[in-house]
Chains A and B, each alone.
Chain A
Amino acid sequence: QSVLTQPPSVSGAPGQRVTISCTGSGSNIGAGYDVHWYQHLPGTAPKLVIYDKMKRPSGVPDRFSGSRSGSSASLAITGLRPEDEADYYCQSYDISLSGSLFGGGTKLTVL
């Protein structure tokens, strides 16, 4: 069972805004460790969309944004587009594991 908890699925219509949550604990997000977000289509390499809580890699549109509050983090996607449909994973370091871990993943469906 993942120590970073994400909702199994979220959905939204084109043009809408969706958020995906990632709930951790005092040994990971709550301890101040950075949170990273990936977009993943099965069978392809994951793509980094947010790193260090809220930074965007070059080429990722500003429709993607990240935030953190306490032991939780969120990925927001505005102006939903069909190509945003994918699985999204959060990642953070956990001091009790002495390593990083991923959340369980959230499937985003664009209606």
Chain B
Amino acid sequence: EVQLVQSGAEVKKAGESLQISCKGSGYDFSKYWIGWVRQVSGKGLEWIGIIYPGDSDIRYSPSFQGHVTISADKSIASAYLQWNSLRASDTARYYCGRTDYGGNLGAFHTWGQGTVVTVSS
């Protein structure tokens, strides 16, 4: 069974750094794009970016580029979303998702359970 399991909830202060993870199982992790999506409470879904673990090809949404870093370690089948300096506005639930077809243009067929990040000012 294809699964994505995300790391647990985080509570941080503004200015702190953070890395959350998304671990894949049940398939060849290096061969499918993994993307990250944000949902602020009461708001819609936002596409953050996507990575191909096989060669670490990464695409970012202009809205997030420069503030977050996406990475992956195919040896342990994990993708990461990282902040060097959190803001209160980063408070949200973050999901990872895998595209089955269409590469970085594809739909997310499989999703992680989400990671809640709370940043206090």
A residues at B contact (CB < 8 Å): 2, 33-34, 36, 38, 40, 42-48, 51-52, 57, 87, 89, 91, 93, 97-105
Contact = CB atoms under 8 A, between A and B. Distances in A.
A91 B47 contact: yes
Contacts of B112: 45
Nearest to B48: A99
Nearest to A57: B109
B66 interface: no
A105 B39 CA distance: 11
A47 B46 CA distance: 15
A9 B62 CA distance: 28
A5 B10 CA distance: 32
A102 B44 contact: yes
B19 interface: no
B40 to A, nearest CB: 11
Contacts of A91: 45, 47, 107
A99 B108 contact: no
A104 B44 contact: yes
A2 B47 contact: no
Q: Which 9 A-B pairs rank lowest in CB-CB distance, beginning with the nearest? A: A36-B107, A51-B107, A45-B111, A105-B44, A93-B105, A102-B45, A100-B47, A99-B61, A99-B59
Nearest to B96: A45
Contact of A89 (B44, B60, B111, B113): B44
A97 B61 contact: yes
A20 B61 CA distance: 25
Given A46-B95, A52-B107, A100-B104, 18 more contacts: A2-B44, A33-B105, A34-B105, A38-B45, A43-B114, A44-B114, A45-B111, A45-B113, A45-B114, A89-B44, A89-B45, A91-B107, A93-B105, A99-B59, A99-B62, A100-B47, A105-B44, A105-B45
